[in-house]
Amino acid sequence: MTAARYAKAGYDVRRQGVRPEKGRLVGYTSAEAHSCIARTFDMLGLGLDGLRSIPVDDGYRMDIKALRQAITDDIAAGHRPFCVVGSPATVNTGAIDDMEAISRIAQEFDLWFHVDGAFGAKRQKSPVQEPPCRSSLRHTPPSTQPIGLHITEPMNINFQWRRAASVS
């Protein structure tokens, strides 16, 4: 999320701080999102008012129409949408946000697309089932779609850690 703030603020946030006079930076996530998203907005100085909690549909997935409406409302109000957070499986219900639709909206509005892998990232290594975000992200050119992946439970994922070669 820090990278998203730097990339989308349009000025040197680190030097100048968060400047609401340029338009409040706002982000979007599902009402079912992991609590770390709100904590991150707080820690980054974006404020909890800068995080839009998007209602969910009957399957507890982010409501895509509500997401689009919230973005257009914020733009009309002079705010600066900068990121959207999707979940490949929510902690509360295991609901899988429509990553394809969220990716398209992120591209349309030039938003950073952050995939919150607090729970669903474990499926990335599944030999049985295609992870819900792999297909939508693999067709997205990196230059047009910044993406962050947040994994809060690395102990449950099989990573191969490699020590970087030391430079003398």
Pairing assessment for the beta strands 25-30 and 51-54 based on DSSP bridges: parallel
Task: Give me the residue spans of the domains in the chain.
Answer: 2-154
Residue of 34, 79, 139, 150 marked active site? 34
| Residue 79 among the catalytic residues | no
Arch. (CATH architecture) of 2-154: 3-Layer(aba) Sandwich (3.40)
Mind listing the pLDDT tens digit for each residue in 45-85? 888 888 999 999 999 999 999 999 999 999 999 999 999 99
Q: What is the pTM of this model?
A: 0.69
Mind listing the pLDDT tens digit for each residue in 87-119? 888 888 888 899 999 999 999 999 999 888 765
* 43, pLDDT greater than 80: yes
